[in-house]
Amino acid sequence: MQIIKDREIVEDNWVHLDDDATLISGDITVSLARWQEQHEALVKHDGRLGLRLSGDDPLEEIIPDLAHFSLVVLVFPAFTDGRCYSYAKLLRERYDFTHEIRAQGDVLHDQLFYMSQCGINSFELANPNRMAYALKAFDDFSESYQSTVLRPEPLFKRR
């Protein structure tokens, strides 16, 4: 499967494990529920570990464990659910998470630029046939008025 990562189309080697799936070696993501139930076994896992969060999941509960994760997948169930934008910004700015943050789910072309400004650097699109078109979204705007993860100072201070 292909994803957009750091504004390039790349092959993705992560496997999203369901809660009842057998643990496999390699790079895997698990839900918050599975992490909470099996964290001791998952820490010893042979491969990199990622965590999937939805806007319903309490971000505060994973902060002490952030060092275990090479990837945080933020699940957007609908384009109208913006809670994970805040999660991405908090992970980057407050909790200094430097690894990959991925948007997954109902991710629209119009949202990619804004998601990147919040600190999301990879995107798993529902329609993989739209990858090349989606790349253009990052250039839809040349400036943002507000401060962002990518540009901490607002426009009036940059001028």
User: φ and ψ at 15, to 5 degrees?
Assistant: -115, 125
Q: How many domains does the chain have?
A: 1
Domain of residue 103, CATH code:
3.20.20.70
Residue 80's pLDDT is 67
Residue 83's pLDDT is 84
Q: What is the pTM of this model?
A: 0.87
Residue 42's pLDDT is 95
Q: Which domain holds residue 145?
A: 2-158
> Within the chain, which residues score under 70 in pLDDT?
78-80, 140-159
Q: In what order do the strands lie in the sheet with 2-5?
A: 8-11, 2-5, 122-125, 100-105, 71-76, 49-54, 28-31, 15-16
Give the span between the Cα atoms of 136 and 146, in whole angstroms: 21
